[in-house]
Amino acid sequence: MMHTQQIQQGFTLLETIIAMAIVAMTLGSLLSVLGSSKQLAFKAQANIYEVIVLRSALNVAQVQEEPDYPEYPADFIEKLTFEMEDVLEPPKRQTQKIMLGLEPYQWTDKTHGSLVSGLRWKKLTSAQ
């Protein structure tokens, strides 16, 4: 009697189940990384929008002739406070009077605790 040896072709059921488990764990970790990356992208977009609004408001405020600063969008009103101080005194050795004075301002962001302060030229009603 002749015995023929069968050559095994393909994978066993156990090998297939283990391979599928490894692929499932890999795909699960990749999807969680993609989800967190998407959340970071949305957060970065919101931060960029906030910076653009604040910079444009600051730029407009620095070139306006009137001391009023522009209106903030509704979602920034409760987060920001704006304070102006009196116009600084002119220097003692000023050669001629001018119709502009330096006005200090200060923006405070309550959510981040950041503070922006600076000076802007303000048109005066009388020369100093």
Residues 61, 63, 65, CA angle at the centre, nearest 5°?
90
pLDDT tens for each residue of 38-95: 889 999 998 888 888 778 777 776 676 665 555 667 777 677 777 777 887 777 777 7
Query: Looking at the DSSP assignment, which residues form a beta bridge with residue 80?
Result: 109
